[in-house]
Amino acid sequence: MTVAERARLGQVNRVAREFFRHELRSAEDGWAARSLRQQGAEMLLDPAGRWAVGYAPGARSRLVGYLRSCGFALESMTNAGLTGRNAEGRAVDRFRDLPMFPAKNERLETVGFIGISQAGNYEFSPETQLHRRATSLVGVAEQQELLIGGGAPVLVADPMDAIAITHVSLLSAGRWVGIPMFGADLSPVQMRILGRYAATDHAIVVLPDTTIGRRQAERSLRGLGAFFPRVQAVELPRGTSPNKLRLGANGLQRLHDALLETRPLSDYRRAKPRADMLERYAEVEDTPLLDP
């Protein structure tokens, strides 16, 4: 791929990102915007916010038409992973009726997208000359200030959980930075990206309460140790998540206190989820988030 071709694909992704962003703001009463509000993610709707989350409209080829009006050839759209073909062979939008998160590479360039369906399933950009799932991340570019300020990256599966952690962090001296993995393993390149932009010696993994999820977390231990001397873990009550915890009674305080209770991830090797966690967090003292 030539430098000019790479630049063109980067440009079409940037324009698509702005298109999705505009569509979300234009559909404030749509299900995507309502869902974000219901999940406590109003910051994603802020036009001045750094999270460039958008919405792919349900129309068959609105993005295709918009990109054509901007002077992009169909070949560029296809090579960027933004289009597909319908039964009649016509070019149509690959993503439709989905909230959209831009995925960025190590240079923090938008190289692909991740959509979330109403059923909660993830839809990823295909592999292209620019995009590989294993070499891009969501949330690093958006939260550079927190990372540079020493916030510890906190790895979670779902973007709403990442937003919950960042929400608490902004009330607590920027201690943490939620990084969503969308259910995938953390790859060596993704570890390198975190190591490059995080100004801290430790990372935190929020442990799922399933055996498969825990084994997935364990697999990240050795690789993360190459970039973060301290790899800690947080165990939440069974059946909950950072965002569910935040949205419950006294939720911000409960999530804050849970994130303070870290242990080395190595302590949890093959350990079963603790059954007493829900009882431990049933009552939380009314202590301030901004603790000394």
CB 223 within 8 A of CB 255: no
Contacts of 33 (CB under 8 A, 6+ apart): 24, 27, 45, 55
Amino acid identity, residue 57? P
Specify the CATH number for the domain of residue 156.
3.40.1360.10
* 3-class state of residue 191 by DSSP: helix
**Confidence (pLDDT) at 270:** 52
Whole-angstrom Cα distance, residue 137 to residue 18? 18
pLDDT at 279 over 60: no
**Confidence (pLDDT) at 286:** 45
* Domain boundary, last residue among 98, 132, 166: 132
- Domain enclosing residue 207, as ranges: 141-280
Q: Taking residues 254-259, report their average pLDDT.
A: 95
pLDDT at 227 over 90: yes
Q: Could you tell me if 115 and 192 lie in one domain?
A: no
Contacts of 199 (CB under 8 A, 6+ apart): 147, 148, 149, 150
**Confidence (pLDDT) at 48:** 81
**pLDDT tens track for 152-164:** 999 999 999 999 9
Q: Taking residues 98-110, report their average pLDDT.
A: 96
Q: Could you tell me if 242 and 119 lie in one domain?
A: no
Specify the CATH number for the domain of residue 41.
3.90.980.10
Whole-angstrom Cα distance, residue 145 to residue 161? 19
Q: Taking residues 129-156, report their average pLDDT.
A: 95
Confidence of residue 50 (pLDDT cuts 50, 70, 90): confident
Q: Mean pLDDT in the chain?
A: 88
Entry pTM: 0.88
287 inside domain: no
Q: Could you tell me if 145 and 128 lie in one domain?
A: no
**Confidence (pLDDT) at 208:** 74
Confidence of residue 287 (pLDDT cuts 50, 70, 90): very low
Confidence of residue 269 (pLDDT cuts 50, 70, 90): low
pLDDT at 88 over 50: yes
286 inside domain: no
Nearest-CA neighbor of 208 among 179, 182, 237, 232?
237
pLDDT at 69 over 70: yes
Q: Could you tell me if 165 and 259 lie in one domain?
A: yes
45 inside domain: yes
Confidence of residue 274 (pLDDT cuts 50, 70, 90): very low
Q: Taking residues 207-228, report their average pLDDT.
A: 75
**Confidence (pLDDT) at 209:** 67
**Confidence (pLDDT) at 89:** 82
Whole-angstrom Cα distance, residue 104 to residue 130? 10
* Domain boundary, last residue among 99, 114, 132: 132
* Domain boundary, last residue among 82, 106, 132: 132
What are the phi and psi torsion angles at 147 (to 5°)? Answer: -65, -45
Q: Taking residues 77-102, report their average pLDDT.
A: 93
Q: Which of 10-14, 218-222, 270-274 has the highest mean pLDDT?
A: 10-14
pLDDT at 277 over 50: no
Q: Could you tell me if 49 and 94 lie in one domain?
A: yes
Q: Could you tell me if 62 and 178 lie in one domain?
A: no
pLDDT at 215 over 80: no
Q: Could you tell me if 8 and 90 lie in one domain?
A: yes
Question: Domain total for the chain?
Answer: 2
Q: Could you tell me if 159 and 274 lie in one domain?
A: yes
Q: Could you tell me if 127 and 234 lie in one domain?
A: no
Q: Could you tell me if 93 and 205 lie in one domain?
A: no
Q: Could you tell me if 7 and 97 lie in one domain?
A: yes
Q: Could you tell me if 91 and 171 lie in one domain?
A: no
**pLDDT tens track for 4-39:** 989 999 999 999 999 999 999 998 889 999 999 999
